[in-house]
A and B are shown apart, each in its own frame.
Chain A
Amino acid sequence: MLWLRTVQLGVKSLLLHPLRSLLTVLGIFIGVASVIWLLAIGEGISFEAQKQIEGLGADNIIVRSIKPPSEETANTRGPVPYGLKRFEFDAIVETVPTIKSALPIREIRRQFSRGEKMVDGRLVGTIPDYARVLRLEVDRGRFLEPADVQSHKAYCVLAAEVAQRLFPYQDPIGRTVNLIEHKDYYLIIGVMKSRSPTAAIGGSLEAQEFSNDIYVPISTMRQRIGDRVWTRRAGSFEGEEVELNQITFRVDDIKHVLATADLLKAMFDRSDVKITVPLELLEQAKTMRLMFIMFMGLIAAISLLVGGIGIMNIMLATVTERTREIGVRRALGAKKVDIIRQFLVETIVLSIAGGATGVAFGLLCPTIVDGLRNFARWQNPEFVAKLPEVMQAVTPIIVPVSIPLAFGISVVIGVVFGIYPAIRAANMDPIEALRHE
């Protein structure tokens, strides 16, 4: 009852200066909303990163061939051999006991066609294990099988998106696809389900995509295409000689991953091979997430602090301005605590108003981010396409604890920054206050 009336009075007093009160509320609003927004965006980014890294498989170690910089090879004529060799693959599989399985991959960018339709894709030569290790699922038909590899079959399996583009109206199974550069045909035996990208590997910054892939037996690829390939690039041909582009090693136990990775790093201590350890990335991502949260928290705390200072500033002005009122109330029987309560309630009303609206706006974060992105995409698609991947993809995830946290902090700030002006008001001498002009 007493509090209810004090709150009513507080609201009335605040409405004496609506704009001023609004601006003060805005300070807290921004603070609270930014806590929720920053944490939600941070969480969204790290969630995306972790999901991508987990997509690589925490018990995998990825070893990749890296093309040497062109100045190093400028004097050599013809294609330069580099990267992983088949004998290395065999040696590791035979000698490293913690490796459960190994997946050789050879890949080149190629054009595929079916009738009029053409696709720029990635020809991936590999073994049947590939689908399991990379968690690709068959949609129709089947994936490669050991027999296909043994007998060098000219079979291929298409990624969902490739199948969709080459065969929009037909079932591709049993039909052929033309590998244009090699004037060669492959029989389609299966179509995969589409798969979201995984984290970047091999020192590249781009996430790994699967949507342009065409999988063929690695033995077939060696026989029909060989290690030396020429690729038309910017009007001229560029040659390369690579035996294997990538080996994905699967370690028998996640506890052995780091030790095995160290061993592999020692073996491949050269510039044309790069080792990616998803487990390490995952650890890094977790540390990053913590740092991110702390950093965002710091920014948010600063903005709340600024909001609090705004409250204090306004309340000090209010107290001075209402000195006479304080004197009158004291003369009419108000105790010091009554005055403290009155002004404290005003600051709490301000901070709760800021806190509540801030929380409401904070909860809208995922919707607004999505809406803004769609709007930008609609207005200026090229611009959006040029944005970094995270900005294009990230979906903010509201961190549940951030809501009571932000709201609680805003109320605490109201009390902390309101208490001094309130005490100052209460400690005024009633007679002095009454004489105040």
Chain B
Amino acid sequence: MKYAARIIDITKEYPLKGETVHALRGVSFDVPFGDYVAIMGPSGSGKSTLLNLLGCLDKPTSGQLLLEDDDIGALNDDELATVRASRIGFVFQSYNLIQQLTVLENIQVPLFYLGRLGAAERIRCEEIADLVGLKDRLKHRPAQLSGGQQQRVAIARSLVNAPNFILADEATGNLDSVTTEEIMGLFEKLNNEGRTIIMVTHEDEVSAHAKRVVRLRDGLLQSDIINENRELLLPPNTRIKDTIPADHA
């Protein structure tokens, strides 16, 4: 198992009012374990589509998508859900917290669907909330938090199932530059722990922190460049905290 993900000549088509939208027209690249990839490209170039495929929310129209050697195209709906629950952490542009739940309950949601929300996990959820700086906000509702705080809840939520992949779609798109740096710092620490991060962004300041930048244009891979001048926000190998295991014990 050399690669966290392998994307092999993937296409994705959407039917739209009798016509076919070619969102991806044949994209290939490999993501090694522990990689930190920024996917960039103009609006409509297929970034979100690619990220959703990586996140097992959908299957490619053609081509192969391997996630830690599992062929995603061969899985059924329930199996895809299990992959999402156990291996993937999502962070969205619009936070996507559940309004009727408290911060702590929002963080617990993935564990609920994994079927393991025991006493130990509850404590861990509080620890994770603590790590992203939400210790005194556990009982708050999402509506009572700022954008940055909400996004930190979302990141905490993406971490509870100790995923190998963290997928972020314009995660800092709604945040100011100071908060953006905070979030990017969190990502950097998570990556230092060995988690593979793939994030969609159109901001150069954000992609500057990634190890690698993949550019899409009209559903095709335009470039795939190692980020030589990577900007580090933190001293090398700063970890979030060693209490969060890189994979579930």
**A330–B85 CA distance with the chains assembled, in angstroms:** 9
Give the segment of A9-17, A234-242, A366-374 that binds chain B.
A9-17
Tell me whether A329 and B113 are in contact (CB under 8 A): yes
- The verdict on A2 contacting B115 (CB below 8 Å), with A332-B109, A333-B86 known, is yes
Within 8 A of A (CB), among B51-108: 52, 55, 57-58, 77-78, 81-82, 84-86, 90, 92, 96-101
B112 CB-CB contact with A under 8 Å: yes
What is the chain B residue whose CB lies nearest that of A325? Answer: B98
Shortest Cβ distance from residue B103 to the other chain A in the assembled complex, whole angstroms: 14
Shortest Cβ distance from residue A5 to the other chain B in the assembled complex, whole angstroms: 7
Q: List 30 A-B contacts (CB under 8 A).
A: A5-B117, A16-B99, A16-B100, A328-B97, A329-B113, A330-B57, A331-B55, A331-B57, A331-B84, A332-B84, A332-B85, A332-B109, A332-B110, A332-B113, A332-B157, A333-B81, A333-B82, A333-B84, A333-B85, A333-B110, A333-B161, A334-B81, A334-B85, A334-B113, A335-B82, A336-B78, A429-B58, A430-B57, A431-B58, A434-B96
Q: What is the total number of residues of chain A having a CB less than 8 Å from a CB of chain B?
A: 25
Tell me whether A12 and B57 are in contact (CB under 8 A): no
What is the chain B residue whose CB lies nearest that of A437? Answer: B94
Shortest Cβ distance from residue B93 to the other chain A in the assembled complex, whole angstroms: 10
- Chain B residues contacting A333 (CB-CB under 8 Å) are 81-82, 84-86, 110, 113-114, 161
What is the chain B residue whose CB lies nearest that of A430? Answer: B57
Show the binding face of B for A, using Cβ within 8 Å.
52, 55, 57-58, 77-78, 81-82, 84-86, 90, 92, 96-101, 109-110, 112-115, 117, 157, 161
- Chain B residues contacting A48 (CB-CB under 8 Å) are none
Tell me whether A330 and B96 are in contact (CB under 8 A): no
> Apart from A12-B100, A335-B113, what 16 extra A-B contacts exist at CB < 8 Å?
A2-B115, A13-B100, A328-B96, A328-B97, A330-B84, A332-B109, A333-B81, A333-B113, A333-B114, A333-B161, A334-B85, A335-B78, A335-B82, A338-B81, A429-B58, A431-B52
- The verdict on A335 contacting B77 (CB below 8 Å), with A2-B115, A5-B112, A430-B57 known, is yes
**A327–B78 CA distance with the chains assembled, in angstroms:** 15
Shortest Cβ distance from residue A334 to the other chain B in the assembled complex, whole angstroms: 5
**A434–B169 CA distance with the chains assembled, in angstroms:** 12
A286 CB-CB contact with B under 8 Å: no
Shortest Cβ distance from residue A329 to the other chain B in the assembled complex, whole angstroms: 7
What is the chain A residue whose CB lies nearest that of B81? Answer: A335
**A338–B113 CA distance with the chains assembled, in angstroms:** 8
